[in-house]
Amino acid sequence: MNKSKILLIYTGGTIGMIKEAGQPYLSPFNFENILDRVKEINLLNCQLETISINNPIDSSNIQIENWIELVEIIKTNYNSFDGFVILHGTDTMSYTASALSFLIQNLTKPIILTGSQLPLGDLRTDAKEHLITSIQLARPYHDFDNNGSSSKVTNVIKEVCLYFDNKLFRGNRTTKVNSDQFKAYASFNYPELAKSGVDLKINSEDLYEPLNSNTIFHNKLDDRVSVIKLFPGISKQIVKHMLFDSYSKVVIIESYGSGNMFDFEWFIDELKSSIKKGKYIINVSQCPKGSVQMGKYESSFKLVELDIISGKDITLESAIIKSMYLLSMKLDFKNFKEMFELSISGEIS
């Protein structure tokens, strides 16, 4: 049987650190020696190669340039490997997963991001299981064929995923929800793609099926995006300042519940004039589960009339990067809105 070829890409974060005996702090280990640290990987039927980004980082420092570097690494190695596993810090992993899902479209192979809450060298580490299972998930898997017959067919995951605490998620649907438990991520608006128990169960009906197999790599994001989180008592001055800031082109407003915003006259007037000045305003809910439904309540009805873009059930992380991606395409308002409200990589229902 042919061995699957997997490329393991190291970006930094807790997963790639160790605490040497007698050493009070965590420090990165030589990543090329990963196979010596996790000998179990040798038992997997795969050929593993490792590569690191130029300067491994704590993921709080991740920038657009790092995402472009990751895209370049994957693009260069795309035809030589069956799947990719990216080791990443947990803090911004959902942003990176979202970014890769827009920057690399029509995938024909899996890209699995994973990290850990405890470093690889820690006795109680979650890193080992995350690493091993992610490599397993990055290989082709067996499934029953579509006719329901019992003959097994070989399939592959064709999307950017995030594996953590026994669950595989669609990456651009995830949010980090916990900084001190192993269950660090949630996907509120989309089911898990796989569960790792005694068996590894892939939920094949919910996997993303790209429109075609012509994989496209993008290398641009436009950072002119800002976010206003509404809260009761937010001052008119602050809202005004953020709506009229001269650099941003997209303003994401984090609204309440099903996309409601206060409908004070001053607020509606400010929205109107910033739209007139060319801002693209997007409505994303602060409520992690459920969808924006403008017009359901009187307080959001005016937003429909203003042609505010609906974030539907998108995560804030995805909304930010999707805006950066669509802005880089220099679309006019009509096309931007149309594309934002449609799914590009399964980020919106």
- Where in the sequence numbering do the catalytic residues fall? 14
The residue assigned the tokens 């299981």 is: 129
Residues from 158 through 177 that contact ligand ASP (CB under 6 A): none
Residue number, 57 or 242, with CB nearest to ligand ASP? 57
Q: How far is the CB of 17 from ligand ASP (least distance, A)?
A: 8
Nearest to 95 by CA among 171, 8, 201: 171
The residue with its CB nearest to ligand ASP is 89
83, 115, 259, 311: residue in contact with ligand ASP (rule CB under 6 A): 115
Is the separation of the CB atoms in 189 and 177 below 8 Å? no
Q: How far is the CB of 90 from ligand ASP (least distance, A)?
A: 3
Under rule CB under 6 A, residue 122 binds ligand ASP: no
The token duo for 349 is 């229902």
Under rule CB under 6 A, residue 59 binds ligand ASP: yes
Under rule CB under 6 A, residue 89 binds ligand ASP: yes
Q: How far is the CB of 14 from ligand ASP (least distance, A)?
A: 3
Residue number, 179 or 214, with CB nearest to ligand ASP? 179
Under rule CB under 6 A, residue 91 binds ligand ASP: yes
Kindly state the DSSP code that residue 2 receives in the 8-state scheme: P
Residue 318: phi and psi, rounded to 5, are -65, -40
Residue number, 89 or 121, with CB nearest to ligand ASP? 89
Instruction: Evaluate the CA torsion angle 138, 139, 142, 143 in order and state its sign.
Output: positive
Residue number, 181 or 213, with CB nearest to ligand ASP? 181
58, 192, 223, 270: residue in contact with ligand ASP (rule CB under 6 A): 58
Under rule CB under 6 A, residue 119 binds ligand ASP: no
Amino acid at the residue 117: Q
**How far apart, in Å, are the Cα atoms of 164 and each of 15, 171, 184, 267?**
12, 11, 7, 41
Residue 292: phi and psi, rounded to 5, are -70, 130
Residues from 2 through 21 that contact ligand ASP (CB under 6 A): 12-14
Under rule CB under 6 A, residue 96 binds ligand ASP: no
Element (H, E) at 302: helix 298-305
Taking only Cα atoms into account, the Rg of the chain, rounded to an integer number of angstroms, comes to 21
Nearest to 17 by CA among 121, 131, 117: 121
Residue number, 82 or 91, with CB nearest to ligand ASP? 91
- First-last CA distance in the chain: 39
Residues from 213 through 242 that contact ligand ASP (CB under 6 A): none
Tally of helices (H runs) and strands (E runs) in the chain: 9, 20
CA distance 163 to 192: 10
Question: Torsion angle of alpha carbons 38, 43, 48, 51, nearest 10°?
Answer: 0
Residue number, 83 or 115, with CB nearest to ligand ASP? 115
CA distance 225 to 167: 31
Give the total of residues touching ligand ASP (CB under 6 A): 10
Q: How far is the CB of 92 from ligand ASP (least distance, A)?
A: 6
Note the Cα 209 to chain centre separation in Å.
17
Element (H, E) at 30: none
Q: How far is the CB of 13 from ligand ASP (least distance, A)?
A: 3
Under rule CB under 6 A, residue 90 binds ligand ASP: yes
2, 60, 79, 80: residue in contact with ligand ASP (rule CB under 6 A): 60
Stretch that binds ligand ASP, among 58-66, 79-87, 124-132, 291-299 (CB under 6 A): 58-66
Is the separation of the CB atoms in 114 and 87 below 8 Å? yes
Q: How far is the CB of 85 from ligand ASP (least distance, A)?
A: 15
Residue number, 93 or 348, with CB nearest to ligand ASP? 93
Q: Contact positions toward ligand ASP, by CB under 6 A?
A: 12-14, 58-60, 89-91, 115
